[in-house]
Each structure stands twice: as structure tokens, then as C-alpha cells.
Amino acid sequence: MSRSRLSIVLLLGIFLLASAALAGCTGRDSTPAEAPEVSTPESLVVYSSRNEKFVDPLLEKFTADTGIEVSVLHAGDAVVNKLKEEAGNVQADIVIANDIGALEYLRLEGLLASPGEVEGIESINAGYRASDDSWIALSARTRVLMYNKDLVSEEEIPSRIEDLTDPAYGGMFAITRGGNSGMIGHVSALRYEWGDERTEEWIAALKENAGAIMEGHGDIRRAVGAGEFAFGLVNNYYYHQQLAEPTGNNVGVVYPDQGPGEMGAVVNGAGVGMVAGGPNPEAARVFLEWVLLPENQREFSWASLEVPINPEIEAVPEARPISDYVVHAMPLRELGTVWEDTRTLIERAGLDLELK
């Protein structure tokens, strides 16, 4: 065979092989490559310490808006211990808490994680977020003295928290157990203001002077409204709740420590955090961006009659915005650094964390 014919045959063979290969890739009988699967969040696990009547409607709205199903554990103040116990086998994606101190404590323990970039997070002032945005405060509440107007006048109520230990008020008021998140936050602020020794003495005297130690603030507001006690130490939104009751609603409120040189009323907050290593991190980020939408920030705070942290969100009727009164100087973030120590101090002072 001549060299020219050999070249033609070789070229023809190469052409046929290339055509066959191309047909194998693009022919009708070829199997198309599968598209990569796109993960879409389908479920979210939430642990909550807030009252379920505030949380459940919010989560139902989340499911309606996003299609993501939610499993929720309502564990009250036991949420922190539950998350610590499950650190090696994480079950939750989001924690909703009544206390910023508890959220910051969880962050310091390595149990919360930064969600990365979250749309809308700039609507919350940096002072009301974790340094890594692993928790976000959405609503605020203030420690106040709610009183029964049928029993006492405003002038007969102590104007300073430290005066609750005055024997003149012996048996007239109710407080919560020591493990209540509001009490822990309040005592933490007093430690910041007074130091541990004076605070411990105050707790011991408070226990002896109180007319009753109750499970929660709801029990206190109802007892004060019914006239069982002249006044009680509660978070301010319980006053608004009592005003809305059909009976027992002749109540007033005192924001304590507002005089010249006094420390100001103690403020705490409620918010949400992203649990580190949760099973549904994508759904958790969806939830954080969803709850930061203005309508949902409003839903979060209005459900419990708390004051929105975001100044662009209107407060519930008759609620006083934080800018209207003197607030205690302790930054909310610092509550987490002393949260466990405060529980120890409360017990040491003789006020049980749980009712017995």
C-alpha cells in the first residue's frame, strides 16, 4: 500500500473513532449526567425557655411562611442544662431564651455557633447581640414592682429595690424562686452594682421579708391582682398582662431606682441563638433571617407584651420604651459571664433555685 493511501486510511479511522466517541456522549441512547442534589431544609428543632403560648404561634407562622416543619421542646429554665447534657449528641438547632445571660453563658461554653452573614441582623444594635452574632436579643423587659391599687398607693410602694428588705414591707410582697431567669439576671446586676457580699446579704434578708416565694411571675401577677399581696417583683410585661384581665386588673407599676444618683431599673432581654453542631444548620439560618423580618420581630415582642429592641418596631400600647427611664448600667452581654456564679450565690444566700 502506498504511503498516501495509508495516510488516508489512518485519517479515516481516526475520524470514525472520534465520531463514535461523540455519538456515545451525545447520542439519543446515551444516559445524561445526573444533576447534583440541592439540599433544602425540611425541619427545624427548637428548644425554648419562653412560655409556649408566646412561642408556638411564632413557630406556626414560620412553618406557614417557609414550609419548614418545627419540632419544639418547651423546657423552661432547664433548657441550659439540657443543651449542656446533649453537647456530645446535639439535638437542637435553635434556642429561644428568656434571658440574655443564659444565651451568653451558652456561647461561652461553646454551645452556640456563629451563623455567618445573616440578612437583617443590622436592625439589632450590636450591644444587643453576641460578639459573633451567635445570639440576638429581640425584646426587652424591665424589673418593676406591680401593686394592687385597692390595697396601697404608689407612695406606699418602695422606690428602690434595696428597700425590699425593710421590715416595714414584711409579708406584703411576693418574689419568684431563685432559679427563675429574671431573678438570676436581676441578682447579677446587683452584684455588678453592690458586690457579692452586700448582694448575698440582701438576698438572705429578701427571702425572710417576702410574703411568698412563687414559681413564676405569672403566679405573682395573679396573686397581686387578686389582692393576696400588696405588690410583687416582676418583669414589666406582666403588668400589661394583668391590665388585660377581666378582673383583678386594678393594678399599677413602679419603675424602681429612678431618683438622682440611683442605679436605674434592671433590664434584661429575650432572644434566639444558633446551637453549635445542630442537625439542621441551614434551616437554623433560615429561621434567624425570618425572625429578623420586621413583622416577625414585632410578633416576637408583642406576643409577650415586651418592648422591641429594634427602635423601628413600635412598642405595645402603654409600654414605656427603654429611653423613657433610667436603666442600670450593666451591659447585657456581661450577664453571661456571671450567670453560673450568680446561681451559686443565690443558693448560698438561702434562696432555693427551685421550689421544694
The C-alpha R_g of the chain, in whole angstroms, comes to: 29
pTM above 0.85, yes or no: no
pLDDT at 15: 37
Class assignment of domain 142-266+343-348? alpha beta
Rounded Cα gap, residues 304 and 139, in angstroms: 9
The pLDDT of residue 13 is above 50: no
**Model confidence at 14: pLDDT above 50:** no
Please write the tens of the pLDDT for every residue from 29-53.
434 334 334 345 689 999 999 999 9
| Three-state SS annotation for 194-236 | HCHHHHHHHHHHHHHHCCEEECCHHHHHHHHHCCCCCEEEEEH
3-state secondary structure 3-33: HHHHHHHHHHHHHHHHHHHHHHHHCCCCCCC
Domain 43-140+268-320 in CATH: superfamily? Periplasmic binding protein-like II (3.40.190.10)
Q: Cβ distance 146 to 154 under 8 Å?
A: no
Which pLDDT does position 30 carry in this prediction? Answer: 37
Q: Where does the chain hold its CATH 3.40.190.10 domain(s)?
A: 43-140+268-320, 142-266+343-348
Query: Mean pLDDT throughout 171-184?
Result: 95
